[in-house]
Amino acid sequence: MKYSHGLKIAEVIAVVMMGCGANLVCLEAIIRQAPGAGNAINLAQNALISVDGFLFTTRCGTKSSAIPLNNGLNYLIQRHRNYILLVIQFFVVSLSSSYANVYRMPMPLIMIFRSVSDLSVNRCISDKTDSNDTISPYDWTVGIGLTLVSLFVSANVGVTQEKLHLKFGKHPREALFYTHFLQLPVFLLLTSDIANHFVIFNNSDPFVIDLLVLSLSLPKLWLLLLLNCLAQYVCIRSVFVLTTECTSLTVTLVLTIRKFLSIIVSIFYFNNPFTTSHWLGTVLVFIGTLLFVNIPLRFYKHKVK
């Protein structure tokens, strides 16, 4: 996917909606069968984006970073120091979101909670239940806590990206590569968990693909993981382009709308129970959040200018 300078913001937003929406559908399909697979999913996504970035962004390491480089013993640190904070933020968001799923936090609740909170936290910086299982108070509390950590850090990611763009210019593909590539060594600490879930993936029900001359059988979870990674690639790459063209608050608003649409898909496609009270509460919270961050006033001022 190659973006030209004349690409309209609306087109990028449309790609964000489709890519991120497809990503979430695949993610929920995986999580329903393997709730603790978040680390394995994150590793696969980071590996795919890192390979693509190494081949096409850095040209197998032959292209220099847009960030000024220094020679000497601290070469690597100096080269990537401006990305370190962003990388840490991305990893904390990924890890906390993954473990929120381990504690069986309902997907619609996570999306509602993070969507409205992202807007509020970003502004300050610049009951669904399973039909077969109940969530214990401990799991609920820990899940909410992890989601809180994720939303506070993710709300600041856009601000950090905006500062990098102002300081070094717009380099979305480079930022995309380094923020994912530099996370890979940390996954060594999670090898046991990741290996266990790869075994679960191998033992999942087969999905048969009939071709003209042959028939392929793949474990269903591996196929879903592949689709999830491809959708995540489209999603995150589009988001990084959007961050170079819009303010962090605008990007957060776009992602909030996308999450709201994902809530609809999660409820109807996956048959997640959602009562009239849930709908009313969701609408009121979204309206209250939009009013809190003065979105109507901001658009009015922009129109006047």
283 lies in a domain? yes
Tell me the residue type at 90. F
More confident residue, 274 or 182: 182
165 lies in a domain? yes
59 lies in a domain? yes
Q: CB neighbours (10 Å) of residue 264?
A: 13
- Report, in angstroms and rounded to the nearest whole number, the Rg of the chain calculated over CA atoms: 20
3 lies in a domain? no
Structural domain boundaries, residue 257: 9-304
pLDDT class of 127 with cuts at 50, 70, 90: very low
Question: Distance between CA 122 and CA 295 in Å, rounded?
Answer: 12
Q: Residues 148-159: pLDDT tens digits?
A: 666 666 666 666
**Range with top average pLDDT, 77-81, 185-189, 284-288:** 185-189
Mean pLDDT, residues 44-62: 91
4 lies in a domain? no
Total domains present in the chain: 1
Q: Residues 218-270: pLDDT tens digits?
A: 999 999 999 999 999 999 888 888 887 877 777 777 777 777 777 777 777 77
Over the chain, what is the mean pLDDT? 74
Pick from 29-33, 60-64, 219-223: least confident = 60-64
CB 246 within 8 A of CB 298: no
pLDDT class of 106 with cuts at 50, 70, 90: low
